[in-house]
Amino acid sequence: MASTLPALERWVNDVAALTHPAHVHWCDGSQAEYDALVAHMLADGTLIELNQQTHPRCYLHRSDPRDVARVERLTVICHEHEEDAGPNNHWMAPAAAHAKMDALFAGCMRGRTLYVIPYCMGPIDSTLARCGVEITDSPYVVANMRIMTRMGAAAQARIEREGEFVRGLHSVGELDPERRWIMHFPAERLIQSFGSGYGGNALLGKKCHALRIASNQGRDEGWLAEHMLIVGIQNPQGKTHYIAAAFPSACGKTNLAMLIPPEGYRAAGWKVWTVGDDICWMRPGADGRLYAINPEAGFFGVAPGTSAATNPNALATIAHDTIYTNVAVTADNQPWWEGLPGTPVTDWQGRPYDPANGPAAHPNSRFTASARQCPTWSDQAEAPQGVPISAIVFGGRRPNLLPLVMEARDWTHGVLLGAAMGSETTAAAAGAVGVLRRDPMAMKPFCGYHYGDYFAHWLAFDRPGAKLPRVFHVNWFRKGADGRFLWPGFGENLRVLEWMLARVEGSASGMDTPIGTLPRPNELNLAGLKLAPGALDELLAVDRPGWQAELAAIGEYLAGFAPRLPPKLHAEQQRVVAALATPAPRAATAVA
């Protein structure tokens, strides 16, 4: 018997009976097991050794070129009733989905090894953590799961103690895009993924469990599973505030989580601590504050754009013991992507590099590295109780209108700011890039139930005794008339975070406007920063006609969630509409 938990043993046996693997391997998560898997993958070409002098224990995986990103149109939430999945999800009836998946899985592991991966999302001894078991026929998935989760014997022991786990069944199948589905069965706490080896579709602990299934678990149990980084900002007095921030995929979460303070800040003693770069689980503590854990143990980050200038901490993190996927390589066999110095000789598909074929590295090429390798990894990241959150930040890629930063007047307004989030699409998902789409709380691809119910769940945290974080909205991507970014971003974003923390501590008054509280221009520390003339005014301006149109568009978007749209959220949108219709008081000079 491989497990003392009959339900786990039975499920593995049932899956083996359906898929007919040649071998079954229960993963213990040991280094020896990882090394053996890597050796096996090097031998069969799944992994390619990179330059071991410059990048010790780093390997490259080239995926099937038709399998390079999450596929939202094939990602399905199978609630019993379609209304429960909401207009924000693709839906299939559970019985139909099971029939489809059973047919795909039948005999699919013939000649392959079935790996059983027990894992824990979150610190192994945290009551906020939740466990799962992924079954897969991909050794690449096993190796990535070992980096991304607490995987192996300790997780299995917890599962056997608690008797509960999320089940995830994955097979690469034939990697045929026509035979690819990523199905979620929230009521059964079950995931089934077939036909893809790409991270977000195949490392089932990440998006499938920690967001789509966990959002359902969180709703049922009174917590939040969010697409957010968690970062600790330590001021020169030694006080650390933790901030959770939601941005859509490939909008800089990893960079913000590992931010390097500008020189003046460093000299003054500011420090930044990374707790997580992608997912955040939050729950109210006994003192009424929200406490957060990062359920992941590693980073599955977007490589292009990561450089010594943009994110030196990430570069240090991935200098060793890293799996690279779909990057290019240099003549001396180092990993390479757009944004790095040097020249690629081989592109992400293994072809001699030719600019006529497009970028050398795939725009969604990735690195997988243990969070422990990050120079700014927080000593609180393993704290079982989590870290208290002082501020929640929403943001997206908005070339115009949205100011650099604004603060919600209260929690309800904050929920509206999150629900109204929009962003230009990126390469993290298949489809057109650069198109504006609404992406509430950056959860559009990840919320495992009806958005209307999700907004209601958020609103419900505002209850007697709650000491909720302040809520902000930022826009690092605002462009001027010449099409250039108005704000330099990256480390300079700390200037904006400092203002937020001043608001949290009550030392900045801000300026009330109909859309929220903005910094007074003298409240942002701009010492040592060269902004283009007029840039700050533009970054902090409130374009009333533009906002009136935006609020109308938000209202129309939210109406799509009726009849489940919480009346309180509709009323809040109406309140802002009314505020925009009242003439600007003379003091609010930023309002045009």
- Mind telling me the catalytic residues? 251
Q: Give the residue with the Cβ less far from ligand OXD, 208 or 496.
A: 208
Residue nearest to Mn ion (CB): 278
Contacting ligand OXD within 39-78 (CB under 6 A):
70
Q: Where in 250-343 does DSSP place strands (E)?
A: 271-276, 280-284, 290-293, 298-302, 322-325, 328-330, 335-336
List all residues 6 or more positions away from 508 whose beta carbon is below 8 Å from its beta carbon. Answer: 499, 502, 519, 520, 523
R_g (Cα) of the chain, nearest Å: 24
In the bound state with ligand OXD, the residue whose beta carbon lies nearer, of 3 and 294, is: 294
Print burial letters for 257-294: b (CB count within 10 Å at least 16), e (below 16).
bbbbbbeebeeeebebbbbbbbbbbbbbeeeebbbbbb
How many residues in the shown chain lie near ligand OXD by CB under 6 A?
7
Let me know: does 305 contact 140? Beta carbons within 8 Å.
Answer: no
Residue 380: burial class (beta carbons within 10 Å; 0-12, 13-18, 19+):
middle
Smallest distance from the beta carbon of 248 to ligand OXD, in angstroms? Answer: 7
Q: Which is nearer to ligand OXD, 86 or 200 (CB)?
A: 200
Binding mask 401-440 for ligand OXD (x = CB under 6 A): ---------------------------x------------
Cβ–Cβ < 8 Å for 86, 449: yes
What is the H or E stretch that residue 6 is in?
helix 6-19
Tell me whether residue 302 or residue 471 sits nearer to ligand OXD (CB atom).
302
Q: Which of 86, 197, 200, 344 forms a contact with ligand OXD (CB under 6 A)? A: 200
Helices (H), ranges, 182-251 = 199-202, 214-221
Among 249, 346, 390, 425, binds Mn ion (CB under 5 A): 249
Residue 300 contact among ligand OXD, Mn ion, none, beta carbon within 5 to 8 Å by kind: ligand OXD
Beta carbon nearer to Mn ion, 249 or 425: 249
CA 11 vs. chain centroid, Å, equals 30
The pairs formed by 570-574 with CB atoms below 8 angstroms and a separation of 24 or more are: 572/412, 572/413, 572/415, 572/416, 573/416, 573/420
Per-residue contact string for residues 235-254; x = within reach of ligand OXD by CB under 6 A: --------------x-----
Compute the distance between CA of residue 166 and CA of residue 519 in angstroms, rounded to an integer.
44
Q: How far is the CB of 254 from ligand OXD (least distance, A)?
A: 9
From edge to edge, which strands make up the β-sheet containing 322-325?
Answer: 48-49, 59-61, 322-325, 366-370, 298-302
Mask of contacts with ligand OXD, 266-285, x by CB under 6 A? ------------x-------
Least CB distance from residue 211 to Mn ion, whole Å?
8
* 278 vs 492 by CB, closer to Mn ion: 278
Residues with Cβ within 8 Å of residue 360, at least 6 apart in sequence: 328, 336, 337, 338, 344, 347, 348, 353
> Nearer to ligand OXD by C-beta: 428 or 456?
428
Q: State which residue, 132 or 200, has the beta carbon closest to Mn ion.
A: 200
CB of 76 to ligand OXD, least distance (A): 17
Q: Which class for 194: exposed (0-12), middle (13-18), buried (19 or more C-beta within 10 A)?
A: buried
How far apart (Å, rounded) are the C-alpha atoms in residues 466 and 139? Answer: 45
Q: How far is the CB of 166 from Mn ion (least distance, A)?
A: 18
Structure tokens at 279: 């997912």
145 contacts 134 by C-beta, under 8 angstroms: yes
First to last CA, the chain: 71
CB of 477 to ligand OXD, least distance (A): 17
Which option in ligand OXD, Mn ion, none does residue 476 bind, with CB closer than 5 to 8 A by kind? none
Range 322-351, binding ligand OXD (CB under 6 A)? none
Q: Using CB atoms, what's the residue nearest to ligand OXD? A: 249
Task: Check residue 134 for interaction with ligand OXD (CB under 6 A).
Answer: no
Number of residues in contact with Mn ion under rule CB under 5 A: 2
70 binds, among ligand OXD, Mn ion, none (CB under 5 to 8 A by kind): ligand OXD
Q: Which of 278, 347, 407, 453 binds Mn ion (CB under 5 A)?
A: 278
Identify what 200 binds: Mn ion, ligand OXD, none; CB under 5 to 8 Å per kind: ligand OXD
Query: Taking CB under 5 A as the rule, which mask of x and - marks residues 191-230 in contact with Mn ion?
Result: ----------------------------------------
Strand extents, DSSP E, 146-264: 150-151, 166-171, 181-185, 190-194, 224-226, 228-234, 240-246
- Stretch touching Mn ion by CB under 5 A, among 98-106, 242-250, 374-382, 520-528: 242-250
Give min distance, CB of 200 to Mn ion, in A: 8
Using the contact rule CB under 5 A, the part of the chain among 1-9, 31-39, 270-278, 465-473 near Mn ion is: 270-278
DSSP E strand stretches across 190-327: 190-194, 224-226, 228-234, 240-246, 271-276, 280-284, 290-293, 298-302, 322-325
Q: Is 300 in the site for ligand OXD (CB under 6 A)?
A: yes
Handedness of CA 411, 412, 417, 421 (dihedral sign): positive
Q: How far is the CB of 330 from Mn ion (least distance, A)?
A: 28
Report the nearest approach of Mn ion to the CB of residue 227 (Å). 6
Pick the closer one to Mn ion by CB: 431 or 510: 431
Residues that bind Mn ion (CB under 5 A): 249, 278
Residues that bind ligand OXD (CB under 6 A): 70, 199-200, 249, 278, 300, 428
